[in-house]
Structure 1
Amino acid sequence: MTNDLWMQEEKILKFLKGSHQIISGETIAKALNISRVSVWKAIRKLREKGYPIKTTKKGYFLEDKDFFIEEDLNKILEKISLFKKIYLFPETTSTMDIAKSYVERGENAVFLAEKQTKGRGRLGRSWESLRGGLWLTLLLYKPPLNLKEAFFLNYLSSLVTAKAMIETFNLPARLKWPNDVLLFGKKVAGVLLEIKAEVDSLEYALIGIGINVNNPVLEKKFMIPAISIKEAIGQEVDRASLLEKLLINFETLYLKKKEILNLWKEFSETLGKEVKVLTSSSTLIGLALDLDEEGRLLLKTKEGEIIPIFSGDCLHLRT
């Protein structure tokens, strides 16, 4: 697509998003100083991309205005410097896969999708990524961390996701080890970290973040039930403000390892609880005591043994 065509699509989207009634192709053409044929072609392309534009005899109407436009993202970029670009996709398989294909460009970037058809979480589990959620991947190119420090990115990402919900919507978001965000005991968001290392340095890190915002939450048999921000508040919310706060918090706390761990503990729903942890080699039950300096969960068994756990699935047994 040429830049002119892309700009036309963006302008038409903005125009339709700001209207509360059906708008004729002639009105759009005059307002944007383009031909009616150009309007028709742009509308067709936008519908092919998945934008919910309804066509009637009288003109065009957006059935759902909850989507991002480039102007939203450019305003966010003006407030941060860690990420150089936010790439927006109306629909894609997975933002993690897209981000990986951009690594060779050698810069930090954000990849955002309105909908994912093959979204995934930890251990290859599928993650429903319907329109209305916040589905993104952060690409960090050659982050100044060694292999042992990579886990900080996992804690940082879940932390800033929770903080963004608290600061934007005044919601009581809490953190469940190792990478979940909870609202009222239900999962509202999750984090997926993938890295590539050379010797002891990181070539790149991909951080996938999925947040149930305004999207419907499908009933499935997970370890814990799910919830959306819309369900928690009772109405649709502004996703752009949530994304902005998340990225600003990420940049503010990036590489501040001690502060990340301390804040994660402060917002933790896991520490102090009886838990069951499923690792790759065993199942452990005990009291979640603390996180050590290396980010491992310290579990105290009923025999009094303290076991450091680097990764695994965690189930809260009681409050």
Structure 2
Amino acid sequence: MNPQTLEQALSPVVQNSPFYPLDIRIFQQLPSTNQTLWEWVEQGAKPGTVAIALAQNSGKGQWGRQWQSSPGGLYLSFFLTPDLAPENSLLLTLCSAWGIAQSLRQSQPEVPVQLKWPNDLVLEGRKLGGILTETRLSQGKITKAVIGVGLNWTNPVPETGISLASWLEENDIQSTWNLETVSAIALEGIISGYQYAMQKGIDSLLSACEQLLIHLGHPVTVNGSPGIIIGISPTGQLRVRLEPTNFQTSSEIDLNPGTISLGYIK
């Protein structure tokens, strides 16, 4: 990856943001871009510092799962300094996922990316990428956050996955995209999503996310009780309406990540 080519690919959204100029550091391989960026933060790195690796050998996904980080994919982490209550931590993941999805949907060519709550980017029912947000607290507030992004470009993917390059080829779409292009789109998405949330407010962000949610309106089962996904709560949980039973009327509950498993749907 060429740093100068990446710099040239950055959109006006990035260049006009308070994070610009970004401090972008690119490596052939790292254990984990999130881990490396936290080390830099401890050494005084400023908001807008970015770690990019062309491969990771200890990449992490949600719940500590190993994230396959083969060459050809984008593995990127971004440092910012929010001022959020701890219960709003999910919103950082949601605004990043939504922002990247929007950047891809508004790109040329347009890529119709959707969201799988809380942190997956989905293309034609398959996983295109994911977000891993890690935070630090100070005086009861989230004051530091690292947004980790993994996006499939030309790297091998599992059966439930899809890469951008293969999607372009399958749809016979000619493009001049490269890994620098994908990196620039991801950075624009993180920044624009965060700025949207801060400027427009949480309600606007959640409404925008719900419009891209692939499971909105789909049935689920929670502890043996049938229900329907109806949206996202003000603090980012998945909102489900449980169907009425002989013993109770319908009710709405908010689920934290990991409470139920949502598959991929086309």
Using the size of structure 2 for normalisation, the TM-score is 0.82
Map 1:37-186; keep pairs closer than 5 Å.
68-75=1-8, 76=10, 78=15, 80-82=17-19, 84-104=22-42, 105-108=44-47, 109-140=49-80, 142-168=81-107, 169-186=109-126
Whole-angstrom distance in 2 between the partners of 1:263 and 1:245: 19
Whole-angstrom distance in 2 between the partners of 1:243 and 1:259: 26
On the 8 A contact 1:96/1:206 being kept in 2, the answer is yes
Residue 218 of structure 2 aligns with which residue? Answer: 273
Residue 261 of structure 2 aligns with which residue? Answer: 314
1:71 aligned partner, one-letter code: Q
Helix, strand or coil: the match of 2:31?
Answer: coil
Moved over 3 A (4+): 77-81, 282-285, 316-319
Select between 288-297 and 173-182 the one with higher mean Cα deviation: 288-297
Helix, strand or coil: the match of 1:315?
Answer: coil
Whole-angstrom distance in 2 between the partners of 1:196 and 1:266: 30
- Listed as ranges, the gaps of 5+ residues in structure 1 are 1-67, 220-224
Select between 116-125 and 231-240 the one with higher mean Cα deviation: 231-240
- Listed as ranges, the gaps of 5+ residues in structure 2 are 245-249
Residue 243 of structure 1 aligns with which residue? Answer: 183
| Structure 2 residue 189 is the aligned partner of structure 1 residue 233 | no
2:230 aligned partner, one-letter code: L
Greater RCO, 1 or 2 (C-alpha within 8 Å, sep 6+):
2
Listed one character per residue, the Cα deviations across residues 177-201 of structure 1 (whole Å, up to 9, x for unaligned) are 1111111111111111111112321
Using the size of structure 1 for normalisation, the TM-score is 0.69
Map 1:202-221; keep pairs closer than 5 Å.
202-218=142-158
Helix, strand or coil: the match of 2:236?
Answer: coil
2:163 aligned partner, one-letter code: S
CA RMSD between the two structures = 2.4
Residue 248 of structure 1: CA displacement?
A: 2.4
On the 8 A contact 1:164/1:242 being kept in 2, the answer is no
Helix, strand or coil: the match of 2:134?
Answer: strand
On the 8 A contact 2:126/2:264 being kept in 1, the answer is no
| Structure 2 residue 235 is the aligned partner of structure 1 residue 297 | no
**Alignment coverage as a number of residue pairs:** 242
Residue 285 of structure 1: CA displacement?
A: 4.8
On the 8 A contact 1:275/1:317 being kept in 2, the answer is no
Residue 79 of structure 1: CA displacement?
A: 5.4
Whole-angstrom distance in 2 between the partners of 1:86 and 1:317: 33
Whole-angstrom distance in 1 between the partners of 2:62 and 2:38: 17
**1:85/1:290 Cα in 2 relative to 1: closer, same or farther (>3 Å)?**
same
Residue 247 of structure 2 aligns with which residue? Answer: none
On the 8 A contact 1:158/1:175 being kept in 2, the answer is yes
Residue 272 of structure 1: CA displacement?
A: 0.8
| Structure 2 residue 240 is the aligned partner of structure 1 residue 258 | no
Whole-angstrom distance in 2 between the partners of 1:78 and 1:157: 18
Residue 301 of structure 1: CA displacement?
A: 2.1
Considering only CA atoms, is the larger Rg found in Structure 1 or Structure 2? Answer: 1
Select between 238-247 and 148-157 the one with higher mean Cα deviation: 238-247
Percent of aligned pairs sharing the same letter: 26
Residue 35 of structure 1 aligns with which residue? Answer: none
